[in-house]
Amino acid sequence: MKNCWFITGTDTNVGKTTYSILLLKLAKSHGYYTAGYKPVASGSRKDNNKNNDAYLLQCFSSVILTYNEVNPFFFPEPISPHVASKICSTPIRTDVLSLGLSNLKKKCNYILIEGAGGWFTPLSEDVTFADWVIKEKLSVILVVGIRLGCINHAILTQKAIIDSGLIFFGWVANYLYPKNKYDEEYIIILKKYLKSKFLGYIKYCYNLEKFYYPENTVMLPIHM
């Protein structure tokens, strides 16, 4: 499937869900049947027993999906998935992740797969999220949360993606704070060191459920 993207980040809480929502809305406006997929998630909403990121991806998918279709492995405690799976005695099986993705491909023609944490987040003592992405041969987009330390994290993540043999399609800059006078300096140097497409900027947003994409300047990634 051409338009199936894995969204990774320079760290946790850098805007993967924000960017995924933005693309889901943008792709829908271009006539795509869209789905957000959060295969593994830790941490639950206060109002229900669901992960907030996965819940939002479910809400913004244009195809009607059950929560389990969006998020097959959910752990209530906001900790690393491999630790959470041990506590819950629920091994994270990559064949289940692949089956979930395969089922979404039957319903949709534009899929955004959101990772957990950064590129090498462990799913078990022996398997990382990157291992599964490599197995599925997914194109990768990197969300760079613009803050102190992001340049190093972005360069290291780029190297890991390229070394894996996958397509590093592009990256997006997400403003994590309302205003930081050094943000533009960070982005200038990131444009120099990151060799894939720059897909745009995401303005600071404090309420994802009211997120509105025309306020931002990102392009819709498409495999022709």
pLDDT score of 66: 97
Domain contains 165: yes
Q: Kindly report, residue by residue over 102-158, the tens digit of the pLDDT.
A: 999 999 999 999 999 999 999 999 999 999 999 999 999 999 999 999 999 999 999
pLDDT score of 1: 82
Q: Domain range spanning residue 112?
A: 4-218
Strand partners, 168: 140
160 token code pair: 């890991």
Residue 101 has pLDDT above 70, yes or no: yes
Query: In this structure, how many other beta carbons lie within 10 angstroms of the beta carbon of residue 174?
Result: 27
Domain contains 223: no
Flag whether 117 is marked binding: yes
Q: At 12, which CATH number?
A: 3.40.50.300
pLDDT score of 194: 97
Domain contains 19: yes
| DSSP at 122 | B
Number of domains in the chain: 1
Flag whether 15 is marked binding: yes
139 token code pair: 């194109």
Flag whether 116 is marked binding: yes
Domain contains 136: yes
The structure's pTM equals: 0.94
Domain contains 224: no
pLDDT score of 219: 84
pLDDT score of 6: 98
Q: Kindly report, residue by residue over 8-36, the tens digit of the pLDDT.
A: 999 999 999 999 999 999 999 999 999 99
The residues annotated as belonging to the active site are: 38
